[in-house]
């Protein structure tokens, strides 16, 4: 997380708070090819589960940052962000929990800030590494599956990440691809993903224009009719059992000794406890990452978590689009397990970084 990046080759920036200097020139062909191979491998390993797919992604972009960041100078806010992330990682690493669970949580925590820094430093050149493999992977791996609430399309958060990347592309076909990704998110009937997509979209909308309200009203009315007629799950208000689990975990946290309240139950504690529930196979996780951070890392970890989010949003404040992308991720974490979706976090981090850089349209 950085508030300002300074290098020997400056570029034009729309405000003194814009964050990056690299990426005006395209990446070397060999690096593009290597990057796409890494992205393809990482995406296809998603089906095997585990942390390997996300570690490949994280290590690649850390190496990219190291390669482009030879002359970085951190501002005070940026240094605070780095120290906060380091402190949270140290808290997780020294706390309770098994080694693999600690590694998984640390890797997940690093995804969004690493993507944000990469987008700020390298700019739209990141898209030529990320998007070809993603565009190839999602159609081949996507399918509808039956639930008691109707047919749903899988991979909603990969499509949501693709939508975020499309929102900062300068490619003319980007809007068409964004529309396809938006349709896929709707067909997934994942309510929080649809809400996040709308927040992301708000970063592009000029609310001061009369055409926005006239055309927007018609589009909203037509979309609402389609949803009511064909995607009824999006209008349902039930919590899929989340509230019951949240109450149980809240009771456990309140009854815990002060040490656990301050330092948490440890990485992996949520899944370990949930595995004892009969409904664990269908529910899977807590579906609230903010509460999960409080439960697993305690008051100290949750405090760092909240301050870290504030710093990231503060650093990208000149770009409304960048702020909206980060806010959309934060919102998904209220009712889903977005912290486990490493690729989605990386995609959104890179998109937010590109927007903050000043090379993407924002209002």
363 residues of the chain, pLDDT tens digit each: 444 433 333 333 333 333 333 334 578 999 999 999 999 999 999 877 778 999 999 999 999 998 887 656 667 777 888 899 999 999 999 999 888 999 999 999 999 999 999 999 899 999 999 999 999 999 999 998 887 667 889 999 999 999 999 999 988 889 999 999 999 999 998 889 999 999 999 888 776 666 655 665 666 666 665 555 555 665 565 556 788 889 999 999 999 999 999 999 999 999 898 888 776 655 668 899 999 999 999 999 999 999 999 999 999 999 999 999 999 999 999 999 999 999 999 999 999 999 998 744 433
Residue with token string 């996780």: 285
Per-residue buried b or exposed e for 1-16, using 16+ beta carbons within 10 Å of the residue's own CB: bbbbbebeeeeebeee
Determine the Cα–Cα distance for residues 79 and 91; give it in Å rounded to an integer: 18
Q: Are 40 and 136 in contact (CB under 8 A)?
A: yes
Query: For the chain, what is the largest distance between any 2 Cα atoms, rounded to a whole number of angstroms?
Result: 59
Q: Are 81 and 311 in contact (CB under 8 A)?
A: yes
Q: Are 134 and 344 in contact (CB under 8 A)?
A: no
Where in the chain are the domains? 29-357
Residue 7 CA to its chain's centroid (Å): 27
Question: From residue 130, how far is each of 28, 115, 119 by CA, in Å?
Answer: 15, 11, 11
Helix orientation angle between 320-335 and 342-357, rounded to the nearest 10 degrees: 160
The model's pTM is: 0.86
Please give the backbone phi and psi of residue 147, each rounded to the nearest 5 degrees, phi first.
-130, 175
Q: Are 283 and 241 in contact (CB under 8 A)?
A: yes
Q: Are 328 and 199 in contact (CB under 8 A)?
A: yes
* 3-class SS of residue 145: strand
Q: Report the run of H or E that residue 273 belongs to, with start and end.
A: helix 269-274
DSSP symbol at 28: P
Q: Are 341 and 164 in contact (CB under 8 A)?
A: no
Q: Residue 172's pLDDT is what? A: 83
Q: Residue 161's pLDDT is what? A: 97
* Two structure tokens written together for 149: 């609430």
Residue with token string 């899988």: 154
Residue with token string 């370990």: 272
* Spatial CB neighbours of 11, under 8 Å, sequence gap ≥ 6: 20, 21, 24
* Two structure tokens written together for 260: 């656990």
* 3-class SS of residue 345: helix
The neighbour count for residue 108, using CB atoms within 10 Å, is 22
Determine the Cα–Cα distance for residues 217 and 215; give it in Å rounded to an integer: 5
Q: Residue 278's pLDDT is what? A: 72
Q: Residue 363's pLDDT is what? A: 37
* Two structure tokens written together for 106: 């640390």
Beta bridge partner(s), residue 144: 153
Handedness of CA 225, 191, 231, 247 (dihedral sign): negative
DSSP symbol at 243: H
CA nearest to 54, candidates 114, 121, 11, 124 = 114
Q: Are 286 and 245 in contact (CB under 8 A)?
A: yes
* Two structure tokens written together for 181: 């990704």
């Amino acid at each position: 997380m950085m508030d300002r990046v300074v290098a020997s080759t400056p570029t034009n920036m729309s405000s003194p708070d814009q964050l990056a200097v690299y990426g005006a020139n395209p990446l070397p062909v060999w690096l593009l090819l290597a990057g796409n191979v890494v992205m393809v491998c990482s995406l296809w390993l998603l089906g095997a589960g585990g942390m390997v797919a996300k570690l490949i992604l994280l290590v690649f972009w850390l190496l990219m940052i190291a390669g482009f960041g030879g002359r970085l100078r951190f501002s005070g806010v940026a240094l605070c962000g780095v120290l906060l992330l380091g402190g949270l990682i140290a808290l997780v690493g020294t706390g309770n929990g098994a080694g693999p669970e600690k590694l998984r949580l640390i890797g997940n925590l690093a995804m969004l800030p690493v993507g944000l820094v990469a987008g700020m430093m390298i700019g739209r050149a990141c898209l030529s590494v990320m998007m070809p493999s993603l565009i190839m992977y999602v159609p081949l791996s996507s399918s509808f599956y039956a639930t008691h609430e109707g047919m749903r399309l899988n991979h909603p958060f990969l499509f949501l990440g693709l939508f975020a990347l499309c929102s900062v592309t300068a490619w003319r076909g980007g809007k068409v691809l964004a529309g396809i990704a938006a349709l896929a998110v709707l067909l997934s009937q994942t309510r929080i993903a649809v809400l996040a997509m709308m927040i992301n979209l708000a970063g592009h909308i000029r609310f001061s224009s009369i055409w926005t309200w006239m055309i927007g009203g018609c589009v909203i009315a037509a979309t609402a009719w389609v949803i009511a007629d064909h995607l009824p799950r999006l209008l349902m208000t039930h919590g899929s059992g989340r509230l019951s689990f949240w109450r149980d975990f809240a009771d456990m946290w309140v009854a815990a000794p002060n040490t656990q309240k301050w330092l948490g139950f440890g990485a992996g504690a949520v899944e370990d406890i949930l595995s004892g529930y009969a409904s664990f196979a269908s529910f899977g996780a807590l579906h609230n990452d903010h509460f999960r951070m409080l439960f697993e890392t305690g008051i100290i970890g949750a405090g760092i978590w909240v301050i870290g989010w504030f710093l990231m949003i503060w650093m990208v404040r000149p770009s409304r689009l960048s702020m909206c992308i980060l806010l959309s991720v934060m919102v998904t974490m209220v009712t889903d397990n977005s912290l486990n979706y490493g690729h989605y976090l990386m995609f959104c981090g890179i998109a937010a970084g590109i927007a903050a850089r000043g090379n993407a349209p924002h209002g």
